[in-house]
């Protein structure tokens, strides 16, 4: 009898926790943010782009290493951009934060317009889930390309 009660209480705690997580993410007003990343004397760059769901456009033509426009209406999904340099090698990472429960949201707008530098030798790794992708990579100086969908 005690085991059944403990199992039931554990199940209730898990359900309440899931409901709290789901209720913390809300769809709000449409936000547009611009971000650029300077090359900072890197001679080579490894770029990793990870987007779970949304609309992704990647092309060349940036004056900097990256010129980005992010359009979204889930504040918790603000894109994470990180750039580091070590031994004249740059490491650029762009990723969509992942959160349990966000799959239940409706009326989501999530779009990345990314311009990358044409001149710098670059390894490009793109991981893309559900949504639309437009990759115009012909002008980039790619040394390696991995695309996972």
Of 82 and 22, more confident:
82
In this predicted structure, the answer to whether residue 111 has a pLDDT above a threshold of 80 is yes
- When the pLDDT of each residue in the chain is averaged and rounded to a whole number, the result is 87
- Percent of the chain past pLDDT 90, that is, above it, reads 66
The stretches of the chain forming alpha helices (DSSP H) are: 2-24
**Residue 120's closest CA among 40, 55, 50, 52?**
40
| Single pTM value for the model | 0.80
In this predicted structure, the answer to whether residue 65 has a pLDDT above a threshold of 90 is yes
SS3 103: helix
Q: Are 69 and 147 in contact (CB under 8 A)?
A: no
Dist. CA 33–CA 31, nearest whole Å: 7
Of 20 and 86, more confident:
86
In this predicted structure, the answer to whether residue 101 has a pLDDT above a threshold of 80 is no
Q: 9, exposed or middle or buried, with CB in 10 Å at 0-12, 13-18, 19+?
A: exposed
């Amino acid at each position: 009898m005690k085991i059944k009660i403990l199992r039931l209480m554990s199940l209730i705690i898990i359900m309440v926790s899931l409901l709290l997580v789901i209720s913390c993410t809300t769809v709000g007003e449409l936000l547009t943010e611009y971000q650029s990343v300077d090359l900072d004397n890197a001679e080579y760059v490894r770029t990793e782009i990870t987007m779970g769901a949304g609309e992704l456009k990647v092309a060349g033509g940036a004056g900097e290493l990256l010129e980005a426009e992010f359009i979204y209406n889930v504040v918790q999904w603000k894109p994470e951009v990180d750039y580091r340099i070590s031994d004249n090698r740059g490491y650029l990472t762009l990723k969509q934060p992942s959160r349990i429960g966000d799959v239940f949201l409706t009326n989501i707008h999530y779009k990345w317009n990314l311009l990358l530098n044409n001149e710098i030798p670059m390894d490009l790794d793109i991981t893309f889930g559900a949504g639309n992708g437009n990759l115009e990579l012909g002008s980039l100086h790619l040394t390696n390309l991995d695309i996972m969908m």
